[in-house]
Structure 1
Amino acid sequence: MKHTFLSLCLLAGTMLAPATSFAGQAPGLASAPDIPISHRDRIYAAEQFSNTVSVSDPVDNRLLGVIKLGDPQPGNLSPLYKGQVLVHGMGFSPDHKTLAVVSIGSNSVTFIDTATNTVKHTTYVGRSPHEAFFTPDGREVWVTVRGEDYISVIDADTFEEKMQIKVPAGPGMQIFSPDGKYGYICSSFNPETVVVSVADHKIVGHVKQASPFCPNIAASADGKQVWFTLKDVGKTQVFNGQAPFDLVKTLDTGPITNHVNLVMNRNGSFAYVTVGGLNEVKVFRTDDFEQVATIPVGNLPHGIWPSGDGTRVYVGLENADRFAVIDTLTNKVIGDIPIGQAPQAVAYVPNAVPEGDGRQNLVPLGTAGEAAHLKLAAKGASGRSAPTSVTLFDQGLTQVLQAAVTGLEPKKPYVLALSDKPDGSGRLQLLSTFMTNPAGSAIVNAVGPIRQIVESKHEDEKRYLVVAASTDGKPGAIVQFQAE
């Protein structure tokens, strides 16, 4: 009787247990088991203006602290400065023990131990690297040296560059087929993605991009598809992950299309695309490419990565200094996490901390969490959603201004300026000139004590942000003005 009762209990327990895993998550194999979310997992973001890597616990959506890789301005302007500048790209090893963090301004790849948050080594490569990722066998780290025309191949044991792979100038990002056979490398300066054989580092395939500006690429866990984004034209393209690497689909996703990642859960297989100019994440089925959801997430969504079981997606909000947490089964935002300034690449690493609390060498967010947020509205468009978000990232006495400008004419010159009148009718002080991309958008930066004057309590000192058309380098008609 006792044996029968125990058998029935075990059977009932099996029947009541959560559904079994459906598939592993990219960049791993589809045959790999899903990994349920736990306190051993970590979410990381590379933060461009605070020069930090934030470390968060996904169970309770809580920031644990940041790894400080460098200082904000003006400290990083010193000729004796040794830290990193423009912390931007991120990848992780197959054993989940090492992060590879790319800093564009200091031409470096910093290798970080995930269990202790300590820097194991820093490798310096060529001009303006953008992203880095480990080969699936863990032996090499490929770094896209976007300011030049090659992939820097780093030995994962010695952290030394072992060779360079010549590719079209401006390689944006690389990712690998889950079986480790191919590396897929898109370009940020040329309309061409190349496929490289990992075994011999030779180019074996070419894919024509619809534009020259690809910042991000992802391969499906089943090895069948590769998705890449085109930031300048607001499109996302899909090609066959196996020879002949033919183009399968082109999707219009929206202005400032940033990153893409792939998720498998009990509802199916999906691509999640961050669209910075719309402040949305768009979700597409990977079988028929139907758009199944549009998720408002906040200002300028950039990097994106799924949890180890595909039930959550974490989105770095570049102009909000936060993570948006999305439930992939309902496609609803269920939480947010405050992080450092201007998060770029994002990585979710299951079982990053096998034991202990994983808080060694973390420091508080501090001034890296300080920023002011503004919006610009199109002239004569009162009551509509603002087309431009602006963030002023505190760097002490100065701020780094970043505007995600949308809603303008394509390929036209404009200026971002300060006006002494709210509607822009007064005298203008030029902050930055810029050219819109083919989608009528742009990311615009400026540096100065801007927050002090746009938030001044003294009316005679206060200034207002505006966007004006540009003629021969001089401001013309006001097209956007500060709404809040």
Structure 2
Amino acid sequence: MYQEKASNPGHTKKVLSSSFLRQSNFSSLFSIPMLLTLFLTFTLTISESTAGEVWVANMKGANVQIIDASSNQIVKTIPTGAGAHNVTFSPDGKLAYIANLGTNSITIIDAESKDKLADIVTDTKAHDVAVSPDGKIAVSCNVGAGNITFIDVVSKKATHTMPTGKKAITAVFSPDGKTLYVVNAGDANISVIDMNTRKITKTFPGAKGAMAIKPTDDWSQLWVTDPTDNKLLLMNPQTGSVEASIDVPGEPHGLVHSPDGKTVYVGQRKLNQISMIDTASRKIVKTTPIGQRPDMMAISSDGKTVFVAIRDENKLAVVSASDLSLTTKVDTDGETHGVAYRD
């Protein structure tokens, strides 16, 4: 057999050539559809993995609802606890923390799989959560007890509770994680805590009923809502001195900075509206009606969309960040309060 094929090399080449052509034609017929399918699959996978999500805590609904930011449709509802109040993400966006006023607890959820990981009892009326920059420590602000509870994220256990002041309502970590600022809305002050010793090292003057404390990107200032005096306070985080204030009528409540730091958006609960503030001039540049009792706020990572909880309407307002025009309102599940965004 070997000698016969070798004696007719031309025929062998012809057979091989013909076979190669048939295979090439077959491949070319299917390569374009196959490549297109692969491309579309890859594109959809990327699209799904990078689609933004808005997480909304519903007090009467006792749950958190996840809204797809591209379609503005609710894609999942997760039971948490009575009085689900505020939502906080870990710095890497992989964990969500829900403060539950009614059950005095913090619910931890895997933000990727959407599985509930733990319910941790803290103290009376858990109101908000702050997470350290390294993601290892979560702090529950217990407004009914006037204290904060430290949670070890790995073990998912409460490790320590300490008093701060009347109505400990919200908190924020410094960028290095060494300092924690706790807003005590009842005492109208801010406790500055050394995270190494877990002791209060300073007490800054704050604001009665303050609901938000948001640092600028460079941490040169802390923006604090002052609903009693209808102002925003711009504070030095080192000294606690108020360097400036901005008049915001109608009980300023929720507050969020744009990603570029040029604009601040604030909800005015008694006026049922939201305002846009230019941070350079420190003036309100635009105001728009938004709905009954706007509460907490969030902004998309690209800075194009603002999300506002409309508490008395059980809705989430989706608003254009550029001109405050209303895109839509999404029906939610009962006394909507906390809002957070993740990519």
TM-score by length of structure 1 reads 0.58
Pair 1:98-2:95 in alignment? yes
Number of matched residues?
297
Unaligned ranges ≥5, structure 2: 1-46
Q: CA deviation at 1:245?
A: 2.6
Q: Aligned residue for 2:119?
A: 122
Q: CA deviation at 1:104?
A: 0.6
Verify the 8 A CA contact 2:147 2:168 in the aligned structure 1.
Answer: yes
Q: Aligned residue for 1:47?
A: 58
Pair 1:228-2:239 in alignment? no
Pair 1:108-2:101 in alignment? no
Verify the 8 A CA contact 2:94 2:110 in the aligned structure 1.
Answer: yes
Verify the 8 A CA contact 2:205 2:240 in the aligned structure 1.
Answer: no
Instruction: For 1:195 and 1:332, locate their aligned partners in 2 and report how far apart those are by CA, in whole Å.
Output: 38
Q: CA deviation at 1:39?
A: 5.1
Instruction: For 1:292 and 1:180, locate their aligned partners in 2 and report how far apart those are by CA, in whole Å.
Output: 34
Instruction: Give SS of 1:319's match.
Output: helix
TM-score by length of structure 2 reads 0.81
Q: Aligned residue for 2:40?
A: none
Pair 1:325-2:318 in alignment? yes
Instruction: For 1:309 and 1:179, locate their aligned partners in 2 and report how far apart those are by CA, in whole Å.
Output: 25
Pair 1:145-2:138 in alignment? no
Q: CA deviation at 1:164?
A: 2.5
The C-alpha deviation readout for 1:203-232, integer Å capped at 9, x for no partner, is 33332124x212222122221121122334
- Find 2:255's aligned residue among 255, 260, 265: 260
The two structures, once aligned, show a CA RMSD in angstroms of 2.0
Q: Aligned residue for 1:414?
A: none
1:228–1:200 distance in 2 versus 1, CA, 3 Å: same
**Largest Rg, 1 or 2:** 2
Q: Aligned residue for 1:15?
A: none
State the identity as a percent: 22
Pair 1:349-2:339 in alignment? no
- Find 2:267's aligned residue among 274, 291, 301: 274
Verify the 8 A CA contact 1:145 1:171 in the aligned structure 2.
Answer: yes
The C-alpha deviation readout for 1:232-268, integer Å capped at 9, x for no partner, is 4433222123x12321223332233221111134xx5
Q: Aligned residue for 2:295?
A: 302
Pair 1:214-2:214 in alignment? no
Q: Aligned residue for 2:26?
A: none
Q: CA deviation at 1:37?
A: 11
Q: How does 1:401-416 map to 2 (within 5 A)?
A: none
Q: Aligned residue for 1:203?
A: 200
Verify the 8 A CA contact 1:232 1:255 in the aligned structure 2.
Answer: no
Unaligned ranges ≥5, structure 1: 1-35, 70-83, 351-484
Q: CA deviation at 1:41?
A: 2.1
Instruction: For 1:208 and 1:269, locate their aligned partners in 2 and report how far apart those are by CA, in whole Å.
Output: 26
- Find 2:168's aligned residue among 156, 171, 175: 171
Instruction: Give SS of 2:302's match.
Output: coil
Q: Aligned residue for 1:316?
A: 309
Q: Aligned residue for 1:85?
A: 82
Q: CA deviation at 1:152?
A: 0.6
- Opposite residue 52 of structure 1, the aligned amino acid is N
